[in-house]
Amino acid sequence: MSPPVPARTIALSLSVLVGCGSPDNRGEADDELIIAWPASREPASLDGHIEPYQTAWLIDYMIADPLLIIGPDGEFHPALATAWSSNEVADEWTFVLRSGVVFQDGTPFDAAAVRYNVERILDPATRSGEMAAHVGPVERVEVVDDTTVTLHYAAPWVTVLDAFRRVPIWSPAAAEQWGIEEFDRHLVGAGPFLLEEWVPNDHVTVRRWDGYGGWNSIAREAGPARVERVTIRFIGEEAVLGNVVRTGNAHIAMNLPTAYIDDYRDAEGFSLLTGYQAGTGLQMVMNVRRPPFSDLRVRRALLYGTDQQAINDLLYDGHFLVSDGPLNTVHRCYREGSADTYPHEPETARRLLEEAGYTDRDGDGIREAYGVPGVDDGTPLRVRWTILDREEMGEAIQAQWRPLGIDVAIEIVPGPVQLEMVNARDFDLIYERQRSPDPMLMDMLWNSAHDVVGGWAWTGFVDEELDGMVSRLREIPDQEMRCELAREAQRIIMENALMLPTLSEPIFYAVSDEVLGFELASEGQFYFVHNVELPRTH
Amino acid sequence: MLAHYLARRLTQLGVVLLLVSVAVFSIMHALPGDPVQLMLSGAESGSVTPERQEELREEMGLNDPLPVQYGRFLSGAATGDLGTSVRLRQPVLDLILDRLGSTLALSLGGILFAVVIGVTTGVLAALRQGSWIDGFSRLLAYAGVSMPLFWLGLLLILMFSFWLPWFPPAGSEGWRSLVLPSLSLGLVSAGVIARLTRASLREVLVEDYIRAAWAKGLPKRIVYLRHALRNALLPVLTMLGLQFGAMLAGAVVTETVFSRPGLGRLVVSAILWKDYPLVQGIVLFMAAMYVVVNLLVDLLAAWLDPRIRDGAPA
């Protein structure tokens, strides 16, 4: 006879474990807001002076108010500065600071503190990449009085407001005490929450600061935040991220994977928020240095031959935004006419390819080059689609271009390989995405002066008019004039078909109805928790 | 005799670690990508000029010739200094020690599940050959070997976090967060251990000294546990040392699926960001840990079985 099965033991063990389970999966403090982030969004450092990623600044927003913010309406609003102005040429910027503000360590916030923060960012020892580039070539920071500070620039710097809405203002005393290497675990600012702990690869927790005076325009009350704690959990697995709100393990999931949208849309007890990110969208840059894209007709043929709306509907149920130019449709400098430049006209695409010398003579459905400069006769028209992920998008393009006689080879490569390919200028169509509500990114991406290793102008197109136009984006402070320049630059780029606009990926948030007061900023990756309440827990 | 054995193994350890250091350094530098450019590639608006990138590269010592960089890495490692992470800007050794506890807890939890499930099933299968428990142990072995770890992890999350909300699907707080990741790691090894225990115990049970024990009229419990199982578990012990390496490798996947902080996730992100010092440091550290654990297992086996330390066939 077989020995008795240890079934009773197993059942007993399970019942003990069940008994230990909590009905509330969050199982944390009562008044704790839990936000799940994809692990890939975890910054390397929480110090926004150093870390080049938005997510660090998003965490910093809870701990340190900046001088100003971009509100949900897309406009600049006061935070620690109450007013700002520049001289006519935009090389002197003055901020009037809020009085009576102290940092979380009790030290005063004043003009000297702002000077310290600017100098810290620009100090080579800080090794700040992105933030130092945003702050720009400050020659001198003048403390006019306790509540007035003037930045003197070496050259006109028109993006100061966009820069300083990102800069967390840290307590100089705390930053000095901990030094560059240690400070990101001991952040001290003048924001609504105190940094409690950061366990890398696991979570960040902040605790309400009772000394907060509601100094940020977004705060509805002149006092502390309402929620006791906020914890951001970094989730490594997409399937888990997609379910954590539904199963009660988190209140909010940021960057909800597209596959899980339907689980939350119109679902009782949840809402689905959608944030959009101004910038380029998921654009595919064309390498115009060599065939086939050295020929404008081929480049235009691709644009005429692509139906992005169909791809959006097929792959993403229409949830993404269709882009039709170098700046996506939610960018304030978007050019309206871009949508009409290349309507979906497969016949026009075929005609252009024929004119460019690409014909299918062997009848295999793929065109071959005949009489194309620099290409052996009979060479099939094959283009490489190089991207980091979203293979499905490449496959949809493959399906749309195949009837045109174009063979698409999809290359899914990791980031390092992509950069190596760019450095070697070894690509046909390659993914490039930048995010910013400021049109300055047009200069970085399309000015041929930045067509160097480490630069971001990859296409190889050189045009004096375009270069001059985007360069001026660095000099003109007037926002409307800058947008006009950017729109004109977009026209040139589209006329020359230098890139294939695809889609803009929104940022989806699954939010439990237990959460009140959660607000998205005008940029999808940013949100505010200043006014969040969890009424269920009271 | 044992001292001589120990000295020989320690020398081998040094050689292994040296070879590992050469291999990981070479591979990391042969891979495409520049750490500084990668660090900034996902930055939001591409504002960092190539000149500034070059300055950062210089400041981080990435422009030095490779032999100089390797020499710096090796001499540092010899004194316990594994360098500073390019991306995280913290000493590599501190980063490793910060996460070591979590990975060790996971690995030891995995070993615990593997031993409890594997040995129990293996013993029952050996004693009841051809029974359903024997079939189950075979099924367990096949499943453990063939089922991808990430898939097993997701199934456990689905069952025990989402359907039955008993354990958290992510995180590292409290013992409950350790159960599912340890179980998924342990199940992979449990099958192998079960089959090995079964085979080994079957062999031992027909040995003369077991017959002698029966002839003396010893109770079943004494014969099975004291005489048979004790000897049958020697190969299992060796296997556990090897499985510890599998646990460390499995931690890379398990920590990602269960969103646990640990060496596995740290090394994955370090590789993606081409953080040379961090990858080199972690690989060297893990290799050392693996070799040391196996050395300890061998020493334990040698201590338990004089035939091993005397060089006689076991």
Q: Is A2 on the interface with B (CB under 8 A)?
A: yes
Which residue in the set B49, B169, B176 is minimally distant from A20, CB to CB?
B176
Measured at the alpha carbon of residue B37, what is the angle toward residues B90 and A283, in degrees to the nearest 5? Answer: 130
Q: Which residue of A has its CA nearest to B85?
A: A44
Sign of CA dihedral B88, B93, B94, B100: positive
Look at residue A496 and tell me whether its pLDDT is greater than 70: yes
Q: Is A173 on the interface with B (CB under 8 A)?
A: no
Token pair belonging to B77: 């490692």
DSSP letter at B173?
-
C-alpha to C-alpha distance for A67 and A190, rounded to whole angstroms: 11
* Residue B11: predicted pLDDT: 86
C-alpha to C-alpha distance for A116 and A141, rounded to whole angstroms: 9
Considering A128-137, A211-220, B171-180, the range whose residues carry the highest mean pLDDT is A211-220
Structure confidence at residue A15 as a pLDDT band (50, 70, 90): very low
Which residue in the set A53, A416, A441 is minimally distant from B46, CB to CB?
A441
C-alpha to C-alpha distance for A431 and A414, rounded to whole angstroms: 12
Q: Which residue of A has its CA nearest to B167?
A: A21
Interchain CB distance below 8 Å, B132 and A25: no
**Nearest CA to CA, how far is A248 from chain B (Å)?**
9
**Chain A, window 29-48: residues with a beta carbon less than 8 angstroms from a chain B beta carbon:** 36, 39, 44-45
Structure confidence at residue A30 as a pLDDT band (50, 70, 90): low
Interchain CB distance below 8 Å, B52 and A25: no
Q: Which residue of B has its CA nearest to A199?
A: B261
Q: Which residue of A has its CA nearest to B177?
A: A21
C-alpha to C-alpha distance for B138 and A6, rounded to whole angstroms: 18
* Residue A14: predicted pLDDT: 37
Cβ-based contacts of B132 with chain A (< 8 Å): 2
Cβ-based contacts of A132 with chain B (< 8 Å): 52
C-alpha to C-alpha distance for A265 and A274, rounded to whole angstroms: 11
Interchain CB distance below 8 Å, A236 and B167: no
Interchain CB distance below 8 Å, A52 and B179: no
**Chain A, window 364-403: residues with a beta carbon less than 8 angstroms from a chain B beta carbon:** none
**Amino acid sitting at position B149:** L
Structure confidence at residue B133 as a pLDDT band (50, 70, 90): confident
C-alpha to C-alpha distance for A84 and A114, rounded to whole angstroms: 14
Q: Which residue of B has its CA nearest to A413?
A: B32
* Residue A538: predicted pLDDT: 41
C-alpha to C-alpha distance for A149 and A81, rounded to whole angstroms: 10
Structure confidence at residue B40 as a pLDDT band (50, 70, 90): low
**Nearest CA to CA, how far is A532 from chain B (Å)?**
24
Cite the beta strand spans of A403-506 per DSSP E: 407-412, 429-432, 499-500, 503-504
Average pLDDT value for residue range A420-430: 90
Which residue in the set B52, B269, B272 is minimally distant from A129, CB to CB?
B52
Among B285, B266, B286, which Cα is nearest to B275's?
Answer: B266
- Percent helix, strand, coil in chain A, to 5, is 35, 20, 45
Interchain CB distance below 8 Å, A237 and B124: no
Structure confidence at residue A477 as a pLDDT band (50, 70, 90): confident
Helix B176-205 vs helix B149-157: crossing angle, to nearest 10 = 120
Residue range A323-379, pLDDT digits in tens = 999 999 999 999 998 888 999 999 999 999 999 999 999 999 999 999 999 999 999
C-alpha to C-alpha distance for B178 and B160, rounded to whole angstroms: 13
Q: What is the largest CA-CA distance in chain B?
A: 86
Cis peptide preceding A4, ω within 30 of 0: no
* Residue A311: predicted pLDDT: 95
Look at residue A24 and tell me whether its pLDDT is greater than 50: no
C-alpha to C-alpha distance for A140 and B289, rounded to whole angstroms: 52
Average pLDDT value for residue range B278-285: 90
Interchain CB distance below 8 Å, B44 and A435: yes
Interchain CB distance below 8 Å, B45 and A27: no
* Residue B227: predicted pLDDT: 84
Q: Mean pLDDT for chain A?
A: 90
For residue A365, the tally of other CB atoms under 10 A from its CB is 12
Average pLDDT value for residue range A387-414: 92
Average pLDDT value for residue range A175-198: 94
**Amino acid sitting at position A402:** R
Strand A382-387 vs strand A499-500: parallel, antiparallel, or unpaired?
unpaired
**Nearest CA to CA, how far is A355 from chain B (Å)?**
37
For residue A2, the tally of other CB atoms under 10 A from its CB is 12
The answer to whether the CB of A425 falls within 8 A of the CB of A264 is no
**Chain A, window 461-520: residues with a beta carbon less than 8 angstroms from a chain B beta carbon:** none
Which residues are registered as beta bridge partners of A97? A81
Q: Which CA distances in Å does B301 have to A483, B114, B120, B208? A: 75, 19, 21, 22
Q: Which CA distances in Å does A186 have to A108, B84, B151, B196? A: 18, 20, 38, 51
| Residue written as token pair 């042969």 | B30
Interchain CB distance below 8 Å, A202 and B260: yes
Look at residue A159 and tell me whether its pLDDT is greater than 60: yes
Residue A488 φ/ψ, nearest 5 degrees: -65, -40
**Nearest CA to CA, how far is A26 from chain B (Å)?**
8
Look at residue B242 and tell me whether its pLDDT is greater than 70: yes
| CA neighbours closer than 13 Å in the CB half-sphere of residue B97 | 8
> Best mutation site among B34, B48, B156 for testing chain A: the one with the most A CBs within 10 Å?
B48
Cβ-based contacts of B255 with chain A (< 8 Å): 201, 236
Structure confidence at residue B311 as a pLDDT band (50, 70, 90): low
> Best mutation site among B37, B45, B117 for testing chain A: the one with the most A CBs within 10 Å?
B45
**Nearest CA to CA, how far is A223 from chain B (Å)?**
32
* Residue B221: predicted pLDDT: 85
Q: Is A181 on the interface with B (CB under 8 A)?
A: yes
C-alpha to C-alpha distance for A187 and A350, rounded to whole angstroms: 59
| Residue written as token pair 């299968």 | B125
Cβ-based contacts of A282 with chain B (< 8 Å): none
The answer to whether the CB of B168 falls within 8 A of the CB of B177 is yes
**Nearest CA to CA, how far is B180 from chain A (Å)?**
12
Which residue in the set B40, B256, B262 is minimally distant from A129, CB to CB?
B40
Interchain CB distance below 8 Å, B89 and A18: no
The contacts of residue A491 (CB under 8 Å, 6+ apart) are: A335, A337
Cβ-based contacts of B168 with chain A (< 8 Å): 25, 27, 249
Q: Which CA distances in Å does B184 have to A9, A301, B180? A: 20, 52, 6
* Residue A111: predicted pLDDT: 97
Interchain CB distance below 8 Å, B272 and A235: no
The answer to whether the CB of A515 falls within 8 A of the CB of A9 is no
Which residue in the set B33, B42, B257 is minimally distant from A416, CB to CB?
B33
| Residue written as token pair 């960089």 | B69
Look at residue A83 and tell me whether its pLDDT is greater than 60: yes
The percentage of chain A sitting over the pLDDT mark of 90, rounded to a whole number, equals 70
Q: Is A426 on the interface with B (CB under 8 A)?
A: no
Strand A507-512 vs strand A252-254: parallel, antiparallel, or unpaired?
antiparallel
Q: Which residue of B has its CA nearest to A56?
A: B43
Among A174-183, A432-441, B166-175, B241-250, where is mean pLDDT lowest?
B241-250
The answer to whether the CB of A466 falls within 8 A of the CB of A495 is no
The answer to whether the CB of B254 falls within 8 A of the CB of B184 is yes
Token pair belonging to A512: 């439990």
**Nearest CA to CA, how far is A458 from chain B (Å)?**
12
Q: Is A416 on the interface with B (CB under 8 A)?
A: yes
Among B143, B176, B112, B52, which Cα is nearest to A136's?
Answer: B52
Cβ-based contacts of B128 with chain A (< 8 Å): 2-3
Average pLDDT value for residue range B224-246: 83
**Nearest CA to CA, how far is B216 from chain A (Å)?**
24
**Amino acid sitting at position A62:** M
Average pLDDT value for residue range A120-127: 88
- The more confident residue out of A235 and B271 is A235
Which residue in the set B43, B166, B266 is minimally distant from A52, CB to CB?
B43
C-alpha to C-alpha distance for A455 and A452, rounded to whole angstroms: 5
* Residue B312: predicted pLDDT: 52
Which three-class secondary structure state does DSSP give residue A144?
strand
The answer to whether the CB of A371 falls within 8 A of the CB of A362 is no
Q: What is the CA radius of gyration of chain B?
A: 24
Cβ-based contacts of B153 with chain A (< 8 Å): 237
C-alpha to C-alpha distance for A316 and A217, rounded to whole angstroms: 36
Structure confidence at residue B225 as a pLDDT band (50, 70, 90): confident
Q: Which CA distances in Å does B177 have to A21, B106, B168, B187, B266? A: 11, 10, 6, 17, 19
Considering A12-21, A326-335, A409-418, A470-479, the range whose residues carry the highest mean pLDDT is A326-335
| Residue written as token pair 């999809």 | A410
Interchain CB distance below 8 Å, B167 and A21: yes
Average pLDDT value for residue range A233-252: 92
Structure confidence at residue B1 as a pLDDT band (50, 70, 90): low
C-alpha to C-alpha distance for A303 and A315, rounded to whole angstroms: 19
Cβ-based contacts of A470 with chain B (< 8 Å): none
Look at residue A485 and tell me whether its pLDDT is greater than 70: yes
ipTM of the complex: 0.72
Which residue in the set B45, B169, B172 is minimally distant from A244, CB to CB?
B169
Burial A38-49 (b: 16+ CB within 10 A, else e): bbebbbbbbbbb
